[in-house]
Structure 1
Amino acid sequence: MALNFFDQFMTPVYMGVPLITVATLMPRIAFLKPTQQWLTGRFTALQTQFINSAAYQLFSPLSVKSHNWALLIISLMIFLITINLLGLLPYTFTPTTQLSFNMAFAVPAWLATVIIGLRTQPTHTFAHLLPESTPTLLIPVLIIIETISLLIRPLALGVRLTANLTAGHLLIQLISTAVFTMMYTYPAVTLMTATLLMLLCVLEMAVAMIQAYVFVLLLSLYLQENT
């Protein structure tokens, strides 16, 4: 029977329970809740420092009105980072390799930024559809193009996250399969391939964190346009 490399992206079910439900609950267990004590543990201090630094990097260029979104966007970033990193462990499942899962976050968040722009500053929001000093003949074409680019934003958010994680997981599985296949026939080549696999795993850890950051960074840029 031929091995299907895409079986790893199917949602596993154990005793009738989809494991994607268990995976989405893991970030709540992995992170510690801050306490009111003056002295905390090292992990809690590092966790707090990381969250504060991420919030500063994301929201320092934005207006004061958009700072109300800090808790939501930072929580989403921590959630995505944790899910992506836990998916790199053996015998685990990565929910963010499912496009439907990513779109469930991208569409409501993007739609909320658009609705806020239409409620608070409708003139400025509609002005994005038509750049200044546009020739009269190009006005209908540019409005259509800008509308399509606006509607395709949530799809770009979801597809970017899905494609990057899927490609990395698939490449890791391909190289690991080659290592097990050549283990006894070509030991020298197997050693070099295994070294490449370890470097790829480190790279995939960086990609897992960077893609979560890019997801919320683009979302904050969309928020900046509408606040």
Structure 2
Amino acid sequence: MVIFSIFDQFQSSVFFIVPMIFLCLSLNVVWSFFLVSESWSKSRFFVFWSGFVGLALKLIFQTTSVKTGPWASVLFTVFVFILSINVMGLFPYLFTSTSHVSITFSIGFPLWLGVNVLGFYFSFGSRLSHLVPQGTPIILIPLMVWIETLSLFAQPLALGLRLAANLTAGHLLIFLLVSTVWAFVDVFCVFVPLVGLFFLLLILEIAVACIQAYVFTALVHFYLQENF
């Protein structure tokens, strides 16, 4: 029995002797060239990208304020980053890194910490007042402070676990269904319906990948609104 190191999951995958990290970096560089149009007429890709940016910003910032406006570029970058990883992870032989809690917490915790540190820095009194909801009886104030404090520190856990758990569950369903399809490959009357069910599940997982990227970004935006 071969026992692999627990650190093997952090090693870069290789595609035809070339590390995947170099291919990803090259793809990012090539991608940036398509976003810049030197011609007076806009290309189809540029029109699509502009429409996608406008739609994403409209969804993320449905209810916002002037103080949260400067965070638009950061939140949109996080949204596109998570969306790209989620969707690309559905391709064969690719690992969805956002299904790993170490990655989701690495993204969620710094965003949550930065938002709250800035919130306490710019409006310390307002942030403390959120620990005691309006109309709370005096006898319940100590209990409410503890509950609100725990809910505050539970926010990064919600960011990381929600994203990782939903993607992991979807990938497990796909794996189990593919295993079942492969087991009944010789039984035509069972194989065909299972293949159809697989494609329906794949469409559902693409939708889940998009929704989870939006939910993650929307939660960060909600925490941002609470602090500003």
Aligned-pair CA distance for 1:13: 4.2
The two structures have a TM-score, normalised by structure 1, of 0.87
2:122 equivalent among 117, 120, 123: 120
Distance, in Å, in 1 between the alignment partners of 2:80 and 2:119 is: 26
2:177 counterpart of 1:175:
yes
Distance 1:34 1:94, change over 3 A: same
Q: 1:99 — aligned with what?
A: 101
Distance, in Å, in 1 between the alignment partners of 2:197 and 2:62 is: 39
The two structures have a TM-score, normalised by structure 2, of 0.87
Contact 1:110–1:222 under 8 Å retained in 2: yes
Q: 2:35 — aligned with what?
A: 33
Contact 1:27–1:79 under 8 Å retained in 2: no
Aligned-pair CA distance for 1:133: 1.6
Alignment of 1:55-74 (within 5 A): 55-74=57-76
Q: 1:193 — aligned with what?
A: 194
Distance 1:36 1:114, change over 3 A: farther
Deviation track 1:7-62 (CA, whole Å, cap 9, x = no partner) reads xx886644999857866885665563233543222122111111122113322521
Contact 1:83–1:95 under 8 Å retained in 2: yes
Q: 1:205 — aligned with what?
A: 206
Moved more, 135-144 or 13-22: 13-22
Contact 1:130–1:139 under 8 Å retained in 2: yes
Code of the residue aligned with 2:212 in structure 1: it is Q
Alignment of 1:80-99 (within 5 A): 80-99=82-101
Distance 1:136 1:23, change over 3 A: farther
Distance 1:207 1:141, change over 3 A: same
Q: Which runs of 5+ in 1 are unaligned?
A: 2-8
Distance 1:22 1:99, change over 3 A: farther
Distance, in Å, in 2 between the alignment partners of 1:19 and 1:116 is: 36
Q: C-alpha root-mean-square deviation of aligned residues, in Å?
A: 2.5
1:46 equivalent among 26, 45, 48: 48
Distance 1:201 1:26, change over 3 A: farther
Give structure 1 regions of 4+ aligned residues with deviation exceeding 3 angstroms.
Answer: 9-32
Distance, in Å, in 2 between the alignment partners of 1:67 and 1:98 is: 30
Distance 1:12 1:50, change over 3 A: same
Distance, in Å, in 1 between the alignment partners of 2:43 and 2:68 is: 32
Deviation track 1:147-194 (CA, whole Å, cap 9, x = no partner) reads 01100101111111101111111100100110011111x321111111
Q: 1:133 — aligned with what?
A: 135
Aligned-pair CA distance for 1:215: 0.4
Distance 1:106 1:64, change over 3 A: same
State the number of aligned residues: 219
Q: 1:5 — aligned with what?
A: none
Kindly, what percent of the aligned residue pairs are identical? 38
